[in-house]
Amino acid sequence: MMPFSRAGFSRLWSMVIKEFLQLKRDRLTFAMIVMIPVMQLILFGYAINSDPKHMPTGLLVSDHSEITRTIIQTLEHSDYFDIKGEFADEESARRALEQGDVQFVVNIPAGFTRSLLRGERPALLIEADATDPTATGLALAAVSQIGEYVMRKDLHGPLSYLNSAAPPFEARVHRMYNPESNTHYNIVPGLMGVILTMMMILMTGLAITRERERGTMENLLAMPVTPLEVLTGKIVPYILIGLLQASIILGASHLLFRVPLFGSLVTLYVVSLVFIAANLMVGITISSLARSQLQAMQMTFFFFLPNILLSGFMFPFRGMPVWAQHIGNLLPLTHFNRMIRGIVLKGSGFSSLWPETWPILLFMAVMMLIAVRFYRRTLD
Amino acid sequence: MNSELAIDVRGLTKSFSHKRVVNHVSLQVRRGEIFGFLGPNGSGKTTTIRMMCGLLRPDEGTGTCLGFDIRRESDDIKRSVGYMTQKFSYWEDLTIRENLSFVARMYHMADRDRAVADAIADLGLSERADQLVGTLSGGWKQRLALAACLLHEPKLLLLDEPTAGVDPAARRDFWEELHRLASRGISVLVSTHYMDEAERCHKLAYIFNGNLLANGTSEEIIAAQGLTTWIVRGRNLSALSAKLEQTDGVSQTVLFGTSLHVSGTDPSRLEGILRRETAGTECVIEGAETTIEDVFIFLMHTNGIQTETSA
Ligand SMILES: Nc1ncnc2c1ncn2[C@@H]1O[C@H](COP(=O)(O)OP(=O)(O)OP(=O)(O)O)[C@@H](O)[C@H]1O
Ligand SMILES: [Mg+2]
């Protein structure tokens, strides 16, 4: 890939071996490499995706009948909904939703039963506070099964004519406050990018400042090794570490969260490799800019923030203001999130991923230039 | 450029945050010469050496090392120079062998394993080759650093206090090795605070507050200052020393255990003072050779006063 002479390759290899040996001796870092991805996955994964149950639900029932009672009972028995009571009017229901007193309002409109018996498939309105999309996602999925259940329980005998393939009524969901909703599987693949970003930058961000602070930089600078060789030598070991971590995350998310993989594993690894390299480049750039380990840490967190907030991991990308989307589009994590979701959930292949790959490669090249440009070749 | 000269720098100047720490220093080191670089703490030795091997950019001045320009060709300089840093700068979380292998790979050495094994054997560290460097004693670290910077067979050695903390036997071995290398045409610039080491150098330079105050063979340096020295032996020398220190015509007194070195620039006047002061006491005086140490202390005092008054 890069024009290294034989002597240059020897120097690069020398750096790689040295970094590996140092890494091997650094028990804490080594433990971190394995433990942090798993811990973060568990913490984030369960905290965000904890299968939410018993969510406060208010009712707005304008049609009382045996069938609507069954529907309400079924909702309650589904474990997802905790019926808090009935609202007097739409106004108070809306206010409770807004204040977060309830997460759902189930609205059974007047004439629901009659319309149902006529086979008109009336709509059951569910207003959901979707600010926390994952919390609502599962509950709403449960609603769709209610029709089936009600059908079996009440619509038999003379009413079995309604018992056709299509459900007897429609659950119309109105997601409020967060129209573009993430689903359960959305967030675990997203976590992979976040964890890799964090780990890769943390580990390389200190790579050069550590040499400076230990005084070994003077020795390194006195040797005929070029900046590109030092930087590459410090990155290579972490590419392997990154791939190891990616595997840990993939394995754990499959075991713990049953995240399926529709796309190819090879595609996934290739894409991850590009992403890992880009983040390592950020880390090494930070390292080469920073004057102390503290500065490196500060820069690292400065870089994390937009990554977490603007990459579409935390907030839906299309819901962000345009300027924020522009910033988001500069970040490798944004593109990686789209790719990984594509590969894991939709089975996307290389050809459809290219539009998201080149921005990462471009980003990487720019970072490399900055790192080499600002690598201080003297002790000044 | 003069191919006779391994180091030829002129007018090197360096300031850190507006404080000038090296002031127009010019040095010439011939090939095969061991050149001692002396000066008190903070006088600018390390800074000067770093400028020579491309680790610091001089604010002013030019020069060459092994014929390569110190500003533009520092990569070439680095390939053929062995620089030993004052502060230990090898990797403490690597073993002795790993550190040496790292260096050997860095210089793309042909027979790496052999060179590393030889260096370890020369050090006498064969049994401890796989010990982490961080667990070595200070003197052993120093000896390892020296072995490491000699590994790639450099043509010029820049050694910054290589024997600090090293025991006398090892220091003697080290200086014998330096002379062996010099006889093979390798040039050495070595900074030190030890006077016995200064005397083993072919040439010396003395730097103080960034200014080069003396440069030449030790005889030349001693002669240039024109000092006469007497040794006083006897008891109660410290009182005498304090008194002489205040006397006009005495440049300096240096107290040793049972003797006092008294130096001055005017021989007859100094002799007169000493005869007068020791008359009727048990002290005996005898004329002595002025040593390089006397001269360095003299240089430091006179120039220290100058810079204080001019500041
Ligand atoms: N990177 C730096 N930044 C600021 N000041 C520096 C720097 N390096 C050296 N100095 C200052 O320059 C002066 C000369 O330092 P230098 O290390 O060259 O002295 P030295 O002769 O090697 O002393 P020693 O015998 O103690 O090793 C000192 O006052 C030191 O504080
Ligand atoms: Mg020094």
Asked if residue A184 has pLDDT above 90, the reply is: no
Q: What is the number of the ligand 1 atom nearest to the C-alpha of B45? A: 21
Alpha-carbon Rg of chain B, whole angstroms? 22
- Domains in chain B with CATH codes: 5-216 (3.40.50.300), 226-310 (3.30.70.250)
Expressed in angstroms and rounded, the spacing between residue B21 Cα and the centre of ligand 1 is 7
Q: Which amino acid is at B144?
A: L
Does A210 contact B at CB distance below 8 Å?
Answer: no
**pLDDT at position A126:** 83
Determine if ligand 1 sits within 6 Å of the CB of residue B164: no
Q: How far is C-alpha A121 from the chain's CA centre? A: 37
- Contacts with A352 (C-beta within 8 Å, 6 or more apart), sequence order: A342
C-alpha torsion sign, points A351, A355, A356, A361: positive
Asked if residue B310 has pLDDT above 60, the reply is: no
Where are the alpha helices (H) located in B61-132, listed in sequence order?
74-80, 96-106, 112-123
**pLDDT at position A66:** 82
- Contacts with A126 (C-beta within 8 Å, 6 or more apart), sequence order: A104, A105, A106, A107, A140, A143, A171, A172, A173, A174
Angle, helices A265-289 vs A207-214, to 10°: value is 40
- The mean pLDDT of A3-29, rounded to a whole number, is 87
Q: First CA to last CA across chain A, in angstroms?
A: 32
What is the helix (H) or strand (E) element at residue A339, kind and residue range?
Answer: helix A332-341
Chain A to chain B, count of Cβ pairs less than 8 Å apart? 76
**pLDDT confidence band for A278 (50 / 70 / 90):** very high
pLDDT tens, position by position, B30-69: 999 999 999 999 999 999 999 999 999 999 999 999 999 9
Tell me the CA distances in angstroms from A159 to A163, A360, B271, one per residue in order: 7, 60, 136
Q: Do A216 and B90 touch (CB under 8 A)?
A: yes
Chain A interface, best mutation among B74, B95, B105, B155, by max A CB count within 10 A: B105
- The mean pLDDT of A237-266, rounded to a whole number, is 86
Q: Do A223 and B88 touch (CB under 8 A)?
A: no
Give the distance from residue A11's alpha carbon to the nearest chain B alpha carbon, in angstroms. 4
Residue with tokens 């990018």: A193
Per-chain mean pLDDT for chain A: 81
- In whole angstroms, what is the distance from residue A284 CA to residue A8 CA? 19
Where are the alpha helices (H) located in B200-291, listed in sequence order?
218-225, 237-245, 267-278
Q: Which residue CA neighbors atom 3 of ligand 1 most closely?
A: B16
**pLDDT confidence band for A162 (50 / 70 / 90):** low
- The mean pLDDT of A79-101, rounded to a whole number, is 80
Expressed in angstroms and rounded, the spacing between residue A222 Cα and the centre of ligand 2 is 16
Residue of chain B whose alpha carbon sits nearest to that of A221: B55
Where does residue B44 fall: left (phi above 0), alpha (psi -120 to 50 degrees), or beta otherwise?
left
ipTM of the complex: 0.86
- Domains in chain A with CATH codes: 55-176 (3.40.1710.10), 184-374 (no CATH)
Q: Are B112 and B101 in contact (CB under 8 A)?
A: yes
Q: Do A21 and B93 touch (CB under 8 A)?
A: yes
- The mean pLDDT of A34-42, rounded to a whole number, is 80
pLDDT tens, position by position, A251-262: 888 887 777 777
Q: Helix (H, G, I), strand (E, B), or coil: what is residue B4?
A: coil
Among A149-163, B149-163, B264-278, B279-293, the range with the most confident prediction by mean pLDDT is B149-163
Asked if residue A345 has pLDDT above 80, the reply is: no
Q: Do B106 and A225 touch (CB under 8 A)?
A: yes
- The mean pLDDT of A141-163, rounded to a whole number, is 65
- The mean pLDDT of B78-85, rounded to a whole number, is 95
Where does residue A347 fall: left (phi above 0), alpha (psi -120 to 50 degrees), or beta otherwise?
left
Q: Do B85 and A215 touch (CB under 8 A)?
A: yes
Mutational pocket test of ligand 1: of B14, B21, B25, the residue with most ligand atoms within 8 Å of the beta carbon: B21
Ligand nearest to the CA of B37: 1
Give the distance from residue A197's alpha carbon to the nearest chain B alpha carbon, in angstroms. 27
Mutational pocket test of ligand 1: of B13, B20, B38, B46, the residue with most ligand atoms within 8 Å of the beta carbon: B46
Q: What is the number of the ligand 1 atom nearest to the C-alpha of A379? A: 1
- Contacts with A178 (C-beta within 8 Å, 6 or more apart), sequence order: A130, A131, A132, A133, A316, A319
Q: Which residue CA neighbors atom 24 of ligand 1 most closely?
A: B41
- The mean pLDDT of A156-166, rounded to a whole number, is 59
**pLDDT at position A363:** 95
| Entry pTM | 0.78
Mutational pocket test of ligand 1: of B43, B85, B212, the residue with most ligand atoms within 8 Å of the beta carbon: B43
Dump the DSSP string for B218-236: HHHHHHHHT-EEEEEESS-
**pLDDT confidence band for A47 (50 / 70 / 90):** low
Q: Are B221 and B214 in contact (CB under 8 A)?
A: yes
Does B18 contact A at CB distance below 8 Å?
Answer: no
Q: Helix (H, G, I), strand (E, B), or coil: what is residue B291?
A: coil
Nearest to A222 among B83, B88, B105 (CB): B83
Tell me the CA distances in angstroms from A38 to A46, A169, A250, A338, B103, one per residue in order: 12, 43, 10, 22, 37
Q: Are B92 and B84 in contact (CB under 8 A)?
A: no
Determine if ligand 1 sits within 6 Å of the CB of residue B15: no
Determine if ligand 1 sits within 6 Å of the CB of residue B55: no
Nearest to A128 by CA among A86, A89, A101, A97: A97
Does B72 contact A at CB distance below 8 Å?
Answer: no
Chain A contacts of B48, Cβ < 8 Å?
none
Angle, helices B138-150 vs B168-183, to 10°: value is 10
**pLDDT at position A52:** 62
Nearest to B150 by CA among B184, B103, B95: B103
**pLDDT at position B308:** 44
